[in-house]
Chains A and B, each alone.
Chain A
Amino acid sequence: MSLRRVSVIGSGNWGSTIAKIVGNNIKKFPEYVPEVRMWVFEELVNGRKLTEIINTSHENVKYLPNVKLPENVVADPDVKSVARDADVLIIVMPHQFLNRTLAEMKPVVKPTSYAISLMKGLALSDDHGIKLLTDCIRDVLSIPCAVLMGANLATEVSQENYCEATIGIDNPKMGSELKKLFQTDYFRIVVIKDEVATELCGALKNIVAVAAGVIEGLGYGDNTKAAVIRLGFMEMKSFIYQFFADRHPQEGTFLESCGVADLITTCYGGRNKQMGIALATTNEPLAQLEKERLHGQSAQGPLTAAEVYAMLERKGLLEKYPIFTAVHKLCTRQFDPKNFICCLANHPEHR
């Protein structure tokens, strides 16, 4: 029996944080190759190669400064070299580079391996709608793909602040392996079978966070905000059951860290909420607000809301999703933000 190998594809702050956890955990289990290879997109930092810095001082000085990585984490600029022979591929990278990287890796990926995605967000499908990032991985690499999602941030996990995550994987053996690799005293894992809702919660919550920001910007109280968040939560559930029922979403998923806990942290902090506040308190177009307040980066909520709106409109379902619909229409400046709350007057939850 050969030893199992785990690799990390991606080395931003989240990738480096996970490499630290997996690197420390893997040493406890003799059935694994102790080395954890981490793919690092090569760049120069103060004239030196980042991979060289990581391998000598064991710190990702650019993306996770001041956090020591265990010595068994080895940085490698060649994604093929990292993916080759791996039994578990931990994929954690900006999703705009995902398809290209997968195509590059594909020739060397073991057919018996599986992946786990730690990427929050969605891809756009060809027929206009959303596509799971894990489906991109499954489609290109033809291997199973788990997902890890929850109320956690790289900066906090790297500081060993207590938090949780949910792993969605419909294979008990893979699930128990992933729990061994990822769980620590401060990073607590619940494994569930529901891959699709685990991942979708991570994307849809950003729409609700925009709505929460709008309510805050309009000056409503905490109980109104709580009601809007709860209704948004119910729309998340309804949407997942409507469009992904064939993939067996589970009721309990929404009460896991990937559901309600991630929803509340996103609704009470973060850039999507900030964007909602800005939409409510100014009349500026979204693109202008993003340029001013997010330095040109896009908030995920408005992008997701646009795709979700298109899917709902195509099926004639807009009136069943008043919050999702109102968020999109406000992001595209189709009505005065003062009228946001009126959109909830006939919410299906209250009929």
Chain B
Amino acid sequence: MTKRVSVLGCGSWGTAIVKAVADNVVSSDEFYSKVYWYVRDEEYEDRSLTSWINQDHTNPIYLPKLKLPMNIIASSEIRKVVENADILMVAYPPCYIIRLVNHVKEFIKENAYFVSFCKGLILCPEENRIRLVSDLIREQTGKRCLVVIGATTALEVVGEQFTEATIGSKSLECGREVKRLLQTDYMKLVITQDDVGVELCGSLKNVVAIAAGICDGLQLGDNTKAAVIRIGFWEVSELMNELFPDRGTNYLTIEQSCGIAELFMCMSHKLDDISDIGDLDLLNISVGRRLSNNDTNRPSIRSITDKIPYRTFVDGAEYAKQIYNILADRRRTGHFPLFVAVHRICQNEIKPQELIACLQSHPIHA
């Protein structure tokens, strides 16, 4: 019995994923040779996007220039894409997940499972909590959900540049299956059972990225920046346990591509020309830079983030705010000075120059 794979999401990341899967299943004994792809009902030059994909094998809106394999079948009818799938791969920004899941949950096969590629969390300010995208999918559908996150972008996968990602899966069997679907010569995957840690690393790094950008804006040296990044790392690993105790989180997950390799990106000095299809996560570094390189007229966080043209930008400042509120509620802010400092700098409560002073009595050095 060959298994069927469907991909939901036609942005650049979804396009890169469907290409990798299609290349892998085309001659597979294990998987059905066609991949179904849910594509929004959208038009480009008076033709529907599905028509472009199915006839010309190209996605001109979200990843032009890429030639797509011919075994991809695009459809804007979500039921048709979902109802026969054994593995459902979801590549949407977190803010769209609730609606998507509500829409599809009645069509899903008994033993199907999800794979989430969503880099981000669901913030619930009213309840003062954070939810994982994968938890939302599990709770709404009753199905298993794996996560795939790492230091890679659509552009690199499509350009066949060597990169890595991490599969977080409580089930090793499902993890290995997804690895066979996705791994190529140029996109390499490592499986860990700490799925919560994988998802949190991929999200909380956005706060550390702002701190790294502040270091750049203040023109601090590389060793100071490395200390800030490492301390940020440490706080991420502590937050994994603080926010999701008893979920089997492991601090060593930080050593996977979803962890340190993503944070290595913060150390790069080539961030001023961020590609429009590139890694939106790096925009948080730019946010940090812009917060701190203007001494006299400090911009508000809103004026910076509102100028970012991408609707799906993962806003590290919002994450910092939500985490701060959770920690304040628990009287645990003293354990996380960097996250607290980033929040307060973003809210103009303290100056960026005070970031380092906030770290001078960090619990990691106690």
For chain B, give the interface size range.
35 or more
| Closest B residue, CB atoms, query A163 | B223
Q: Indicate if A223 sits at the interface (CB-CB under 8 A).
A: yes
Q: Are B183 and A220 in contact (CB under 8 A)?
A: no
Q: Are B365 and A188 in contact (CB under 8 A)?
A: yes
Q: Are A227 and B261 in contact (CB under 8 A)?
A: yes
With A223-B156, A227-B163, A268-B267 known as contacts, the answer to whether A151 contacts B223 (CB < 8 A) is yes
Binary CB contact string for chain B from 177 to 210 against chain A (1 if under 8 A, 0 otherwise): 0000001010011100000000000000000000
Q: Are B163 and A188 in contact (CB under 8 A)?
A: no
Q: Are B153 and A350 in contact (CB under 8 A)?
A: no
Bound-state CA distance A167–B276 (Å) is: 44
| Closest B residue, CB atoms, query A228 | B162
Q: Are B265 and A222 in contact (CB under 8 A)?
A: yes
Which among B252, B261, B279, B359 has the greatest number of chain A C-beta atoms within 10 A?
B261
Which secondary structure dominates chain A's binding surface?
Answer: helix
Q: Are A257 and B227 in contact (CB under 8 A)?
A: yes
Q: Indicate if B131 sits at the interface (CB-CB under 8 A).
A: no
Binary CB contact string for chain A from 141 to 169 against chain B (1 if under 8 A, 0 otherwise): 00000000001110010000111100000
Q: Are B227 and A255 in contact (CB under 8 A)?
A: no
Q: Are B230 and A350 in contact (CB under 8 A)?
A: no
In-complex Cβ contact of B234 among A225, A255, A345 (8 A): A255
Q: Are A227 and B257 in contact (CB under 8 A)?
A: yes
Q: Are A221 and B161 in contact (CB under 8 A)?
A: yes
User: Which residues of chain A are within 8 angstroms of B225 by Cβ–Cβ distance?
Assistant: 265
Bound-state CA distance A183–B188 (Å) is: 41
Q: Are A162 and B268 in contact (CB under 8 A)?
A: no
Q: Indicate if B164 sits at the interface (CB-CB under 8 A).
A: yes
Q: Are B224 and A156 in contact (CB under 8 A)?
A: yes
Interface residues of B in 212-239 (CB under 8 A from A): 220-227, 229-231, 233-234, 237
Q: Indicate if A190 sits at the interface (CB-CB under 8 A).
A: yes
**How many interface residues does A have (CB within 8 Å)?**
48
Q: Indicate if A189 sits at the interface (CB-CB under 8 A).
A: yes
In-complex Cβ contact of B261 among A153, A188, A189, A229 (8 A): A229
Bound-state CA distance A227–B164 (Å) is: 6
Bound-state CA distance A264–B231 (Å) is: 13
Q: Are A185 and B365 in contact (CB under 8 A)?
A: no
| Closest B residue, CB atoms, query A151 | B226
Q: Indicate if B264 sits at the interface (CB-CB under 8 A).
A: yes
User: Which residues of chain B are within 8 angstroms of A267 by Cβ–Cβ distance?
Assistant: 264, 267
User: Which residues of chain A are within 8 angstroms of B163 by Cβ–Cβ distance?
Assistant: 223-224, 226-227
Q: Are B268 and A345 in contact (CB under 8 A)?
A: no
Q: Indicate if B262 sits at the interface (CB-CB under 8 A).
A: yes
Bound-state CA distance A264–B263 (Å) is: 10
Q: Indicate if B362 sits at the interface (CB-CB under 8 A).
A: yes
| Closest A residue, CB atoms, query B256 | A230
Q: Are A153 and B162 in contact (CB under 8 A)?
A: no
| Closest B residue, CB atoms, query A222 | B268
Q: Indicate if A127 sits at the interface (CB-CB under 8 A).
A: no
Q: Indicate if A292 sits at the interface (CB-CB under 8 A).
A: no
With A224-B162, A227-B164 known as contacts, the answer to whether A260 contacts B230 (CB < 8 A) is yes
User: Which residues of chain B are within 8 angstroms of A152 by Cβ–Cβ distance?
Assistant: 223
Cβ distance A308 to chain B, nearest Cβ, rounded Å = 21
Cβ distance B12 to chain A, nearest Cβ, rounded Å = 14
A-B contact pairs, 20 of them (CB 8 A): A162-B224, A164-B230, A164-B365, A188-B360, A221-B155, A222-B265, A223-B153, A223-B161, A226-B261, A229-B264, A230-B164, A255-B230, A261-B230, A262-B226, A264-B229, A267-B264, A268-B267, A347-B188, A350-B164, A350-B189
Residues of A within 8 A of B (CB): 151-153, 156, 161-164, 183, 185-186, 188-190, 220-231, 233-234, 251-252, 254-257, 260-262, 264-265, 267-269, 341, 344-345, 347, 349-350
Known: A222-B270, A231-B164. 12 other contacts (CB 8 A): A188-B362, A220-B162, A227-B188, A227-B261, A229-B264, A265-B225, A268-B268, A269-B222, A341-B162, A344-B162, A347-B188, A349-B190
Residues of B within 8 A of A (CB): 151-153, 155-156, 161-164, 183, 185, 188-190, 220-227, 229-231, 233-234, 237, 251-252, 254-257, 260-262, 264-265, 267-270, 279, 356, 359-360, 362, 364-365
Q: Report the 7 A-B pairs with minimum CB-CB distance, sorted nearest first.
A: A226-B264, A261-B230, A151-B226, A226-B261, A163-B223, A261-B226, A350-B188
